Amino acid sequence: MDTSNYQQLTRTFQRLYRFSHLSSIAGWDMMTMMPAAGSAARGEALAEISVLKHQILTDKKVAQWLDAAAQEDLNDVEQANLREMTRHYQQAAVLPEALVEAKSLAGSRCEHAWRSQRPANDWEGFSANLKEVVKLSREEAKLRAAAKGCTPYDALLDLYEPDMTAAKLDVLFADLKSWLPDLLNQVVAKQSQRQLIAPVGPFPVEKQRELGLTAMRTLGFDFDAGRLDISAHPFCGGVPEDVRITTRYDENELLSALFGVVHETGHARYEQNLPRTWLGQPVAEARSMAIHESQSLFFEMQLGRSKAFLQRLLPAVIDRFGVQPAFSDENFIAWNQQVKPGLIRVDADEVSYPAHVILRYEIERALINGEIDVDDIPALWDEKMQHWLGLSTVGNYRDGCMQDIHWTDGGFGYFPSYTLGAMYAAQLFHAARTALPNLDAAIAEGDFSALFEWLRQNIWQHGSRFTTAKLIESATGEALNSRYFRQHLTARYL
């Protein structure tokens, strides 16, 4: 029996993966099926698993095996796996068990209460819970920052986007800020010239669900290894062998649920195509949150909102909801490519979306670095919404600073992934189009096989084998930049 140090580590990480599997499915159940009275007990059970995983990962033997395995004769994949194992260990080892448990409990409490506090516009109730989450997140950030020698916020950012820093983000976002507001104004002015016909509802939930399932099938989702459900906030969870995606329905609104499904299907296809031979090891995990978001935005925006895909989708819409003036070819495409600055991030078009992300990034960075407090959030939110989109959120917490789920469980550092993902998606789609000259014709025919094979070859099959920078450079031939995102927005909207 091989008992090399590296083998000991792979066994340990396989155990951790199985516990993650259980907590992921229990978390999915909590968001979709669980009766309200089960919340406290489920929160405690999930916290228990968090502590157990933390104990396994921070065992003294793991540190010894990591040191010794570095001297062993490992191939490329094993070396990449060891690099990722070391990263996981270092991230866990800096945190005391009590903090892991406290943060898990505070997050469950805050998220569960948020579900009723948000519809009630109850900022006071919400902020009391959020203050506890922020306090614990700051403690975590300080410990991580001390270990890494960086700012508290950078330490949390690194959890979602390895090697990314606020300084690098500021450069990328400053570039966006230099041209995006002007582009947004031009698009809004151009689109105000035309009269669009709104689809007339109601749109029964069951038919919307059927339409979503049809889109998932078209996009290659494997229903033997996943399912679609309803939750308060759309998400993709589960494990590569059993991917759970959710959306939310509104009988008066046809397309937000559908494109929520298309978005989450992008996440799901990435998970379902991660390298199976390494499954259970860190090297088989998705590379980063921004790469994950690049896949969902590739599906939702680059592909899903393209003229060719929308034309392909339209017969399925008419089949479910009948013929009406809104479903003329031209109107349907224009309706789906509308740019209308609004209050809600998840419903935002791709031109105004980065404004929502940069606003959150600037607030959460200041919050974690201790420059502002929870009570400062509503006024800052309003000020930044006014500046970016000319919209006020005074007194409207529900559609302002209470709209997202991310901060409820301490997911600070996650938001930048969305706009990084949009930039990666545009760069990847440009590279795919260059590699596949007939791509647009194939999409119009409903044949996505070459496109998905390109993604599998260039992104999906690699898991975390390469750093994000190397992954993108080998897929597109250059480092991340905003050129293709700008080209894409200009071509589609102007």
Show me where the domains of the chain are located: 5-147, 148-493
CA atoms within 13 A on the CB side of 403: 17
**Can you state the angle between helices 353-368 and 152-160, rounded to 10 degrees?**
130
**263 carries a ligand binding annotation:** yes
β-pairing, 242-247 vs 236-239, is antiparallel
Q: Cα separations (Å) of 390 from 121, 130, 181, 184, 386?
A: 21, 27, 11, 12, 4
Give the number of other Cβ atoms within 10 Å of residue 485's Cβ: 24
Q: Cα separations (Å) of 107 from 134, 178, 322, 405?
A: 10, 36, 44, 10
Q: What is the pLDDT of residue 346?
A: 85
| DSSP designation for 243 | E
Q: Give 148-493's CATH code, choosing from 3.40.50.2000, 3.40.50.300, 1.10.1370.30, 2.160.20.10.
A: 1.10.1370.30
Gap between the Cα atoms of 332 and 351, Å rounded: 19
Please name the residues in contact with 71: beta carbons below 8 A apart, sequence gap of 6 or more.
none
**How remote is the C-alpha of 281 from its chain's centroid?**
21
Q: Cα separations (Å) of 337 from 197, 348, 432?
A: 13, 11, 22
| DSSP designation for 414 | -
78: left (phi over 0), alpha (psi -120 to 50) or beta: alpha
Gap between the Cα atoms of 153 and 137, Å rounded: 10
Q: What are the residue ranges in the chain where pLDDT is below 50?
A: none
**How remote is the C-alpha of 132 from its chain's centroid?**
24
Contact of 157 with 165, CB cutoff 8 Å? yes
Gap between the Cα atoms of 136 and 104, Å rounded: 10
Please name the residues in contact with 199: beta carbons below 8 A apart, sequence gap of 6 or more.
254, 255, 321, 324, 326, 327, 335
**For the chain, what's the residue count?**
494
Q: What is the pLDDT of residue 388?
A: 93
Radius of gyration (Cα) for the chain, nearest Å? 23
Phi, psi of 238 (to 5 degrees): 85, -150
Gap between the Cα atoms of 469 and 302, Å rounded: 21
Q: What is the pLDDT of residue 1?
A: 55
**Global pTM value:** 0.94
CA atoms within 13 A on the CB side of 226: 27
Residue type, 449: S
Which residues are designated catalytic?
264
